[in-house]
Structure 1
Amino acid sequence: MDTELKRQVFDTEQVPAAHRFGLWLDMLAGTPGLMRVRTEHADNFVARSEFLDLGPMQLVRHRYPSLDGVRTRKLIQRSDADYYVLALTLAGTGVADQDGQRGVCRPGDFTFYDCARPQELSHHGDDGHQPVSSVVAFIPYDALPLTRRRLAPLFAGRMSGTEGVGALLADYLIRLSAHPEQYHAADAERLAGVGLDLVSTMLGRHLVSEDAVPTEVRRRALLAQVRSHVRQQLGDAALSPQSVADAHHVSLRSLHRLFEAEETTVAAYIRDERLERCRRDLADPALGDRPIQAIAGRWGFRDKAHFSRAFRTAYGETPQAYRARHLDPARIVNTAASAINSEQTY
């Protein structure tokens, strides 16, 4: 039986206000990010952290009051330091300092640093009172294909999470950390792999040395970009292998080669994603009054006969039969409930 991703929620509101900051410091001591923290909210430190264990990578979604932190060499010796930290600012302004480099991060920005080196950081709300939030990834050294020496120029720098691979990575981390209940424990390693490929590719591009990233890592990262693009453009009837290739500045031949290891083609992937969206809508009681052709058109099928044939080939029955089989029981239940309510009313 499938189980959800392994996660742990840490909420200081479970204890009295006077003990909240101390509880937060105890939690922090158990992570690779052990720091000495200062805050003006120590008397009532309302904070929440949700930890997701993905095997090769750990994600933490934080919400906490404004604070400042410093990680000294003594603190490094007291913690497991063989990690990188990638932090995405969601709310507030973060400032990171390491090895003489400084990055100022606003919502949508990433910063990246090495847990084995001293550092300083601050994260403050706009007015000093609003809570701030972030998504943090703890990444073991050996999970990235780039050496610490190669990555050093990026420590404490700012990287955009609103464009290119950075935007795809930010969206991935936000969705995964916001809805972990939608994923299964058996998928943890695969989910981490996708995230690490995107991280490696983003870092490689900021180093202007993408060749330092192994070919297979770059291939998987590009594949994730292509899939995301397809899902966002499914309603566009003009979506095609050629338009996908053009959007990613690769040749059509290269795009087809990208899918060779996926046991499908680009065109088949587009068709299957469209059919899956149609299938979901046809089984949705809230869309029960929407014409089938309107649902098909919403997801890029403009020809009624073509849609019907493709749906029947994929699911073994016509769209009409599929909708009737899934919605009729719901309508019967609703009708019966209405009858009962009417009898009780009169």
Structure 2
Amino acid sequence: MTAIAAPRWREQMDATFGLSLPAPPIGARGLVRHRTLGHIDAFRVAGTPQLLRRTPHAIRSAESAPLKVCAVRAGEVVLRRDDLPDLRLGPGDIALYDTGSPYELRLMNRWNCTVMTIARDDLALPSRTLCHALEHQLPGQGPGAVLTQLLESAVDDAFARSDTAILLGHASVDLLTGLAYELDAPTAPDHALRIAVLGHIREHLGDPDLGVTSIARAHRISPRTLHRLFAEEEWTVSETIRNLRLDAVRSDLVNPNLAGRSIMAIAAAHGFFDQSHLTRAFRTRFGTTPAAARREA
């Protein structure tokens, strides 16, 4: 792919990320590749030294304000935000930031970044854990390295099946979730057990008996201990089950490969067996009905 020179690069950054280059962007050029992976988007972005800004005007004009992950592969990046500490990132470093707040990216040397965008509602993290991840650099080793490599491969490699892309998107979200919990580990001594519980919930969403009793039994803990694990989280155990079920239903409803399956068949696969209950819960979480979500996909 040929690098794009200014002013086309300015237009590309505005259209892709809602970012502006201070005028005149002399010498600024770069290239970007993109692939949609279910509910997330993955990018490979590279370029010459430049300054990019997310302005209040761009935020007001945007249709959405997703969270963004930036993994630096080459060069140096300084992320500056008004209300959070500056982050200086080098090769192998990862940062999570909110495009709903103004920020500035100072990209130095010949830089190369892997980027992922995800809606805030699609990242099932407690508020405390999310805030901690936004304030600090994420671990670039272990799951961080796997996440970066997965996103790079997804962007660079051609694959025809859309369900493959959706599965890669789910894997990326799980890795990002694990990264955030790993960073939060010093302030959450029970984080390993909590992650195991969340994994159990995701694996058993279709089980009508999934609940506090069955989860506690599976992990050989008391219901009281299970409730304590979630005492400081954004959602209770029951709310976590419901919201993850709803997220799974929505994901399948917008999957074109499942267009032939009825809404209730999809819902039942994730633990919803009453249509009116599903519709009420779905509207509360997403502001629309399951049928409307499928039509609008």
Give TM-score scaled by structure 2 length: 0.59
Quote the Cα distance in structure 2 between the aligned partners of 1:78 and 1:27.
16
Q: Which residue of 2 aligns with 1:151?
A: 130
Q: Aligned AA for 2:60?
A: Q
Counterpart secondary structure, 1:205: helix
Structure 1 gap segments, 5+ residues each: 1-8, 14-19, 126-130, 222-253, 255-346
> Contact 1:96/1:156 (CA < 8 Å) preserved in 2?
no
Aligned ranges 1:1-346 → 2 under 5 Å: 11-13=2-4, 20-31=5-16, 33-38=17-22, 42-98=25-81, 99-125=83-109, 131-148=110-127, 150-155=129-134, 157-161=136-140, 163-179=141-157, 181-182=158-159, 184-208=161-185, 209=188, 210=191, 213=195, 215-217=197-199
Given that residues 35 and 154 in structure 2 are in contact (C-alpha distance below 8 angstroms), is that contact kept between their aligned partners in structure 1? no
Other-structure match for 2:254: none
Q: Quote the residue 1:332 is aligned against.
A: none
- Offset at 1:47? 1.5
- Identity, % of aligned pairs? 19
Structure 1: how far apart are the matches of 2:199 and 2:101?
27
TM-score calculated relative to the size of structure 1? 0.51
Change beyond 3 A, Cα 1:43–1:55: same
Q: Structure 2: any 5+ residue segments left out of the alignment?
A: 204-218, 220-297
* Count of aligned pairs between the two proteins: 199
SS of the equivalent of 1:158 reads: coil
Task: Give the superposition deviation at 1:200.
Answer: 0.5
The 1:102/1:154 distance shift into structure 2, 3 A limit, reads farther
Cα distance change on mapping 1:103 and 1:174 into 2, 3 Å: same
Task: Give the Å deviation of 1:38.
Answer: 3.7
Structure-2 residue corresponding to 1:259: none
- How much does 1:12 deviate? 4.6
Q: Deviations over 1:35-88 (max 9, x none)?
A: 232488x34443211010112100010011111122222221011343100000
Report the AA paired with residue 165 of structure 1.
P
Alpha-carbon shift at residue 188 of structure 1 (Å): 1.2
Q: Kindly name which structure, 1 or 2, has the bigger radius of gyration based on alpha carbons.
A: 1
CA distance in 1, matches of 2:44, 2:20: 20
Aligned to 2:262: none
